[in-house]
Amino acid sequence: MRKNKVICGLVLLAILQLAWGSRADARELTYRLKWLFNASVAGDIYAEDKGYFTKAGLQVKIKEGGPGKDAIKEIELGQTDFGVASADQVIRALEKGAEVVVLFQIFQINPLQWIYRDTLPQITALSQLKGKSIGITFGGNDETIMNTLLAKGGIPKKDVKIYSVRFDFTPFLTKKVQIWPVYRNSQGVILKNRLQAEGENVRFLNPADFGVNFVANSVITSKKMIETDPDIVDKFQTALLAAWRDAMAPANQESTLASIAARDKDNNAAITKLQLLATRELTGTQNFGSIDKDAWIQTEQIMLQEQQIKRPVNIQDWLHK
Amino acid sequence: MLFRRIYQFLLVYFAGISGLLLVKLLVGLSDYVIPGIPLIFATAGETAKGYFFDVLNTLQVTVLGQVISIILAFTVGIAGRKSSWIGSFIKMIAYNIQAYPIVALAPIIFILLGDGFIPRLLIASMICYFPLLLSVLGVMSSPVKDIEHFYIITGKMRWQLEVKIRAFENLSKLATVISGSATLAMAGAIVAEFIAADAGIGYSIRIALYQSDLAKILVALFMIGIVISIYQGLLESASERIQKAWAISSGN
């Protein structure tokens, strides 16, 4: 009997904690990244390390991301105030009734690309994919993007050899698969470096070159946060954008690398430098942080065509002005 | 036994779902965080059939993996029952292999065996066998002094007889461990599919996780629960019958 009461009490406490958590304290903000600390989140690390948030009068705790971490869920549960999510995550969440708003877009070019050895002719037309063995993570963004590329190129799936991608690169390294999906500014750099050491050169297949602009990571918050604390949202956005811009500036390269090195446990200075350069290319220089509305609309259309979502979510209404 | 297993599972499953729905209601969460009943039913309508066959696919690996791990556990357990150097060496190898995380071993397994049925089977067996091994070692290392003493002093004791005596005297314990290991074999098969395979329910769960689709995961968990309950219920029924038959044949 006593044991039952204790269990009931614990369940009640857990529910209260969830409910209470949704009332986030605006003075102690949390920001959930999508991935681990490395060069691909250079601007986020730089913001904390160089005190951009503090200067804006905010106290922000940056939390590392990783597999299983979902900023949108955490925002809704009140466990975090801001986060990074991929466009497909945002669109899926909106379809299911979540109310998240995109504040700014970190990458102007999607880092999700395909790597291939230069022993293959450079892919300049989608028809060249015919007959190739291509890696795809079933259920992942790369599946959606590759399906769109194949459809755009008029290539039936039976005309390519699809290989299910898992967490290691062995099938690509052993040449079992010719074209392999990578994040251009993280795994892409590592693979390129590794193959170059073996005397092999690589190229990257960027879907944007073929008119497929599938948006990648963006900074998000809840609609409620924008309505109740617009000043905080504004300060956070301004501080983080400034940090990203400064972190990507060539003049601050050494300082940015030092900030990353302090956080990245597996830091390899040479690789991190290359990853930072690749990240800089993807974030853009002229239109840094801007929301590519057309790309968002195309991303939603692709997801509808690929039946990743069942109804339109009018994504343009959820992009912060 | 079979029906009791199924309704016990249904009780636990629906209690879990009710808890989730209660949290959803109290906190006002969207279907993205916790799916509502209509979404769960709609998802079940779309995926239940496919997931059922996925679970059956996983069950094939589970059953084979369990058989292999039972054979392995008994072989190692019998060989390692003595406190000799060889016995302790075998135990050390068995413990060490278990200490390595499967995720770290997986790339080696895939390089050697490719990615298909065999690696799934191997990983399922590896995860299932260790608890079995502990029980078998416990049983095989504990002499049944009253009975064994007779054979020892009459000079008729052989290792086969020793194993038979210890297994027979602990039949109930071994039967419980073997039927209980079905869940471990299933968990092992799912982990293997989650890491690498391109078939089975673990693979489908991985895809659902990529899409942050909790409704699909709940449907998958339901299918896994039902199938493993039936399998375990059948194993328990079979072990009861075997024990009864042995009891009759031994005149107890």
Report CA dihedral (A150, A156, A161, A162) to the nearest 10 degrees: 60
| Nearest C-alpha in A relative to B27 | A19
Question: Do B221 and B13 touch, CB atoms closer than 8 A?
Answer: yes
> What size, in residues, is chain B?
252
- Report the pLDDT value the prediction gives residue A26, as an integer from 0 to 100: 47
Q: Which residue has the higher pLDDT, A77 or B104?
A: A77
Determine, for residues A92 and B32 on separate chains, whether the beta-carbon distance falls below 8 Å. yes
- Report the pLDDT value the prediction gives residue A157, as an integer from 0 to 100: 87
Determine, for residues B32 and A97 on separate chains, whether the beta-carbon distance falls below 8 Å. yes
Selected residues 81-110 of chain A with any CB under 8 Å from a CB in chain B: 89, 92-93, 95-99
- Those residues with Cβ within 8 angstroms of residue A257's Cβ, 6 or more apart along the chain or in another chain: A269, A272, A273, A276
What would the pLDDT profile of A59-98 be if each residue is shown by its tens digit? 999 999 887 789 999 999 999 999 999 999 999 999 999 9
pLDDT category at A2 given cuts 50, 70, 90 is: low
What would the pLDDT profile of B216-234 be if each residue is shown by its tens digit? 999 999 999 999 999 988 8
Topology adopted by domain A24-109+215-269+282-318: D-Maltodextrin-Binding Protein; domain 2 (3.40.190)
d(Cα A228, Cα A249) in Å, to the nearest integer?
34
Q: DSSP characters for A151-181?
A: HHTT--GGGSEEEE--SS-HHHHTTS-SEEE
Backbone angles phi, psi at A148, to 5 degrees: -65, -40
Residue A208 has pLDDT above 60, yes or no: yes
The mean per-residue pLDDT over the stretch B33-56 comes to 94
A92 chain-B contacts, CB cut-off 8 A: 32, 211-213
d(Cα B186, Cα B189) in Å, to the nearest integer?
5
What would the pLDDT profile of B125-148 be if each residue is shown by its tens digit? 888 888 888 888 888 888 888 888
Q: What angle do CA B148, B151, B153 make, to 5 degrees?
A: 105
- Report the pLDDT value the prediction gives residue A168, as an integer from 0 to 100: 77
- Domain spans of chain A? 24-109+215-269+282-318, 112-210
Q: DSSP characters for B154-177?
A: TT---HHHHHHHHHHHTHHHHHHH
Question: Do A64 and A14 touch, CB atoms closer than 8 A?
Answer: no
Mean pLDDT of chain B: 85
Q: Which residue has the higher pLDDT, A124 or B101?
A: A124
CA quadruple A190, A191, A197, A202: dihedral positive or negative? negative
| CATH number listed for the domain at residues A112-210 | 3.40.190.10
- Report the pLDDT value the prediction gives residue B242, as an integer from 0 to 100: 79
Residue A51 has pLDDT above 60, yes or no: yes
Work out the number of other CB atoms within 10 angstroms of the CB of residue A203: 17
Q: Which residue has the higher pLDDT, B195 or A96?
A: A96
Residue B251 has pLDDT above 60, yes or no: no
Q: Total structural domains in chain B?
A: 1
- Domain span at B142: 2-249
Determine, for residues B32 and A18 on separate chains, whether the beta-carbon distance falls below 8 Å. no
Q: Which residue has the higher pLDDT, A198 or B196?
A: A198
- Report the pLDDT value the prediction gives residue A84, as an integer from 0 to 100: 95
| Nearest C-alpha in B relative to A85 | B212
Determine, for residues A139 and B210 on separate chains, whether the beta-carbon distance falls below 8 Å. yes
- Report the pLDDT value the prediction gives residue A222, as an integer from 0 to 100: 95
- Report the pLDDT value the prediction gives residue A25, as an integer from 0 to 100: 44
- Report the pLDDT value the prediction gives residue A6, as an integer from 0 to 100: 56
- Those residues with Cβ within 8 angstroms of residue B59's Cβ, 6 or more apart along the chain or in another chain: B186, B227, B231
| Nearest C-alpha in B relative to A173 | B111
- Report the pLDDT value the prediction gives residue A22, as an integer from 0 to 100: 45
Selected residues 44-83 of chain A with any CB under 8 Å from a CB in chain B: 68, 70, 72-73, 76-77
Residue A49 has pLDDT above 70, yes or no: yes
Question: Do A93 and A72 touch, CB atoms closer than 8 A?
Answer: yes
Q: Which residue has the higher pLDDT, A1 or A178?
A: A178
A308 chain-B contacts, CB cut-off 8 A: 211
CA quadruple B108, B111, B113, B115: dihedral positive or negative? positive
Determine, for residues A77 and B196 on separate chains, whether the beta-carbon distance falls below 8 Å. no
B106 chain-A contacts, CB cut-off 8 A: 168
Our CA-based measurement puts residue B31 at a distance from the nearest CA of chain A, in whole angstroms, of 5
What would the pLDDT profile of A218-248 be if each residue is shown by its tens digit? 999 999 999 999 999 999 999 999 999 999 9
Q: Do domains A24-109+215-269+282-318 and A112-210 have the same CATH topology?
A: yes
The mean per-residue pLDDT over the stretch A261-276 comes to 87
Determine, for residues A18 and B27 on separate chains, whether the beta-carbon distance falls below 8 Å. yes
Residue A214 has pLDDT above 60, yes or no: yes
Q: Is B107 in the A-facing interface, judged by CB distances under 8 Å? A: yes
Selected residues 182-201 of chain B with any CB under 8 Å from a CB in chain A: 195-196, 198
Question: Do A199 and A139 touch, CB atoms closer than 8 A?
Answer: no
- Report the pLDDT value the prediction gives residue B144, as an integer from 0 to 100: 83
Q: What angle do CA A272, A275, A280 make, to 5 degrees?
A: 125
- Report the pLDDT value the prediction gives residue A98, as an integer from 0 to 100: 94
Q: CATH no. for residue B81?
A: 1.10.3720.10
What would the pLDDT profile of A111-154 be if each residue is shown by its tens digit? 999 999 999 999 999 999 999 999 998 888 899 899 999 998 99
Residue B157 has pLDDT above 50, yes or no: yes
Look up residue A154 and give its amino acid.
Answer: G
- Report the pLDDT value the prediction gives residue B125, as an integer from 0 to 100: 86
pLDDT category at A16 given cuts 50, 70, 90 is: low
d(Cα B45, Cα A2) in Å, to the nearest integer?
42
A72 chain-B contacts, CB cut-off 8 A: 32, 212
- Report the pLDDT value the prediction gives residue A277, as an integer from 0 to 100: 94
Which of A166, A167, A223, A303 is the best substitution to test chain B (most B C-beta atoms within 10 A)? A166
- Report the pLDDT value the prediction gives residue A24, as an integer from 0 to 100: 44
Selected residues 199-258 of chain A with any CB under 8 Å from a CB in chain B: none
Q: Which residue has the higher pLDDT, B247 or A317?
A: A317
- Report the pLDDT value the prediction gives residue A135, as an integer from 0 to 100: 94
- Report the pLDDT value the prediction gives residue A13, as an integer from 0 to 100: 56
- Report the pLDDT value the prediction gives residue B83, as an integer from 0 to 100: 64
ipTM > 0.85, yes or no: no
Most confident among A24-38, B29-43, B231-245 (mean pLDDT): B29-43
Please identify which residue in the block is written with the tokens 């896994």: B224
B123 chain-A contacts, CB cut-off 8 A: none
Please identify which residue in the block is written with the tokens 């955490």: A74
User: What 3-state DSSP class applies to A308?
Assistant: coil
B195 chain-A contacts, CB cut-off 8 A: 166-167
Determine, for residues B115 and A166 on separate chains, whether the beta-carbon distance falls below 8 Å. yes
- Those residues with Cβ within 8 angstroms of residue B56's Cβ, 6 or more apart along the chain or in another chain: B227
Our CA-based measurement puts residue A283 at a distance from the nearest CA of chain B, in whole angstroms, of 24
